[in-house]
Chain A
Amino acid sequence: MNVLLATYWPLPYTGGLWTFITEFRRGLKKKGINVDILSCSPDHSMYYLHDSPFSIRKTDILPLLVEKLNDGGLLLNDPSVSHAELNQYVFEISAAYFGLCQYDLIHAQDPIAARALARVKPAAVPLMTSLHGSLSSEIFYKIKSLYPAFSEQEIYKYPLYRYYRMVEIEGCSQSQIVHTSSAWLYQKTLSNLTGIHSNVFHIPYGFNDKNFAGRTFSFKKIPAKPADKKILFFSGRLVYLKGVHILLQALKHLKKFRSDWECWIAGDGEQREELEALAATLGISSNIRFLGSITNMSHYLKQSDIFIFPSLQDNQPFSIIEAQFSGLPVIVSDAAGLPEMVVPEENGLIFRSGDHEDLCYLILRLLEDSYLLNKCKKNAVKHAQLQWDSKKMINQLTLLYSRLIAEKELK
């Protein structure tokens, strides 16, 4: 069987999509399934088939599209929507260039790719889509961060928000099967597709901790853990959506009660300077280390005591799964798919999303209650092994492949 895993986004990338694809491809290959990966290149200049000589530069496609669409007056009087729509055409034309009839099945990894591939694939080739997050929710928080005064209703009416919501619905409704990893996204997808689509499946992510432990890409020096301090750890993009500003507010309160801690913040993003300035304003700079992007995550996690994930919206972040496999108690917000990942008082704690005082209280609880801290540490790996079973995920997803292939053959 020849399968194409395809995404509109750049890969390799330090985010969860690459973790999923790497693990999933390994599992598929073990089952004798041939896998190609189509994505944008990390420098955004081209689309390419990984581990092959095949690529196409965006500059080979864009000039003609811009000329034909802009001068033809077909693009709309909204720069952001026009830009997004134009880039979708570049992706679909690139996919067509590589030739999609060579595949038995196409597995899109985001709704933009799904919508695009549905337009250019041969009708007989089935399309399955895995949703790794909620595109429209991400755009919601992006708009919120740029225009804090906007009410929810104003954002819901914003053209770019409505555009991505339509792309989500269109991408899913064009797919024969839609897969989500969290129950939250499963429910959200079902409600988006009411009356259109019934083939939505909830299969949690799987993770291979053996591959993770051995995955060291760089020898970047790890800061020494101060002997008398606990390390609180966050890893993720430094963007508004991830709620790092809430973590910093919580840590300001925490400092009033205890100073035997440091917080290490791994990751980079457009909000980094703003967050560094916020830490200074809050008077906690000496307790915070902004580490930038790191690749040897397991080494940092081994030095840490508590993993904190304050996101305003997230599906099922691999950074939390990695922390659990590293034996760390996890504190997450109750937003979106996050509370599904933690059993409160057993392997971590859950705070009210956006409530920095609640977060501060839970960090204090873990720091002051050594019985609870040790219990959560002890349970973390056990829970992770049960919850994030790689073999189970691969088996369940390949069963869906078999179903699509069987349906194709019946036709």
Chain B
Amino acid sequence: MNTLKVLGDLYNSMFHNPIETNVYVEHQIWSKIRANVPDGYKIPDKKMMDIIAKFIEEGTSSDLSKL
């Protein structure tokens, strides 16, 4: 199957605070993903990130690479 690679920035609508990148991705895959996610879907999950940020501030860093 012929694959078409496109710049990942084409899918910036799925990200909060998108920054420019040089990463190329499969158009067929990412277009399907973008079409299938609900309206307003964004990465990362802001609600969870705010909670996590708070308790990381309060605790020690956990680098458990075996997990």
Chain A positions near chain B (C-beta within 8 angstroms): 56, 60-61, 63-65, 67-69, 71-72, 74-81, 83-85, 89, 93, 96-97, 99-101, 119-123, 139, 142-143, 146, 157-160, 162-163, 166, 170, 270
Find out whether the CB atom of B48 lies under 8 angstroms from the CB atom of A170: yes
Find out whether the CB atom of B59 lies under 8 angstroms from the CB atom of A157: yes
* Partner pick for B25 among A60, A85, A123, A162, CB 8 A cutoff: A60
Find out whether the CB atom of B63 lies under 8 angstroms from the CB atom of A80: yes
Given contacts A68-B19, A80-B65, A96-B33, contact A157 B58 (CB under 8 A): yes
B19-43: CB near A (< 8 Å → 1, else 0) gives 1010101100110110011100101
Complex alpha-carbon distance, A221 and B42, angstroms: 53
Find out whether the CB atom of A74 lies under 8 angstroms from the CB atom of B49: yes
* Partner pick for B56 among A72, A78, A96, A146, CB 8 A cutoff: A78
Find out whether the CB atom of A146 lies under 8 angstroms from the CB atom of B38: no
Complex alpha-carbon distance, A122 and B15, angstroms: 19
A183 to chain B, nearest CB (A): 29
A72 — nearest CB in chain B belongs to which residue?
Answer: B19
Find out whether the CB atom of B53 lies under 8 angstroms from the CB atom of A76: yes
Find out whether the CB atom of B44 lies under 8 angstroms from the CB atom of A85: yes
B19 — nearest CB in chain A belongs to which residue?
Answer: A72
* Partner pick for B52 among A63, A158, A166, CB 8 A cutoff: A166
A162 — nearest CB in chain B belongs to which residue?
Answer: B55
Find out whether the CB atom of A77 lies under 8 angstroms from the CB atom of B67: no
Given contacts A72-B17, A84-B67, 9 further A-B contacts (CB under 8 A): A60-B25, A63-B25, A78-B62, A85-B45, A85-B48, A96-B33, A142-B64, A146-B66, A158-B62
Chain B's interface size range is 35 or more
**B-chain residues with CB within 8 Å of residue A123 when the two chains form the complex:** 38
B9 to chain A, nearest CB (A): 9
Complex alpha-carbon distance, A24 and B14, angstroms: 35
* Partner pick for B36 among A61, A77, A97, A143, CB 8 A cutoff: A97
Chain B positions near chain A (C-beta within 8 angstroms): 8, 11, 15-19, 21, 23, 25-26, 29-30, 32-33, 36-38, 41, 43-45, 48-49, 51-53, 55-56, 58-67
Given contacts A79-B65, A80-B65, A97-B29, contact A69 B60 (CB under 8 A): no
* Partner pick for A85 among B16, B23, B36, B52, CB 8 A cutoff: B52
A103 to chain B, nearest CB (A): 12
A40 to chain B, nearest CB (A): 15
B10 to chain A, nearest CB (A): 10
**A-chain residues with CB within 8 Å of residue B38 when the two chains form the complex:** 119-123
6 closest A-B pairs by beta carbon, nearest first, are: A160-B62, A64-B8, A96-B36, A67-B21, A80-B62, A79-B63
**B-chain residues with CB within 8 Å of residue A157 when the two chains form the complex:** 55, 58-59
B12 to chain A, nearest CB (A): 8
Find out whether the CB atom of A99 lies under 8 angstroms from the CB atom of B18: no
**A-chain residues with CB within 8 Å of residue B18 when the two chains form the complex:** 68, 72
* Partner pick for A99 among B21, B36, B64, CB 8 A cutoff: B36
Complex alpha-carbon distance, A296 and B61, angstroms: 42
Given contacts A67-B8, A96-B36, contact A75 B44 (CB under 8 A): yes
Find out whether the CB atom of B59 lies under 8 angstroms from the CB atom of A166: no
Find out whether the CB atom of A74 lies under 8 angstroms from the CB atom of B25: no
B62 to chain A, nearest CB (A): 4
Find out whether the CB atom of B44 lies under 8 angstroms from the CB atom of A89: yes
| Most chain A Cβ neighbours within 10 Å, of B11, B25, B61 | B61
Find out whether the CB atom of B41 lies under 8 angstroms from the CB atom of A120: yes
Given contacts A63-B25, A120-B36, contact A76 B56 (CB under 8 A): yes
A-B contact pairs, 11 of them (CB 8 A): A64-B11, A67-B8, A68-B21, A71-B19, A72-B17, A79-B65, A80-B65, A81-B52, A85-B49, A96-B41, A157-B58
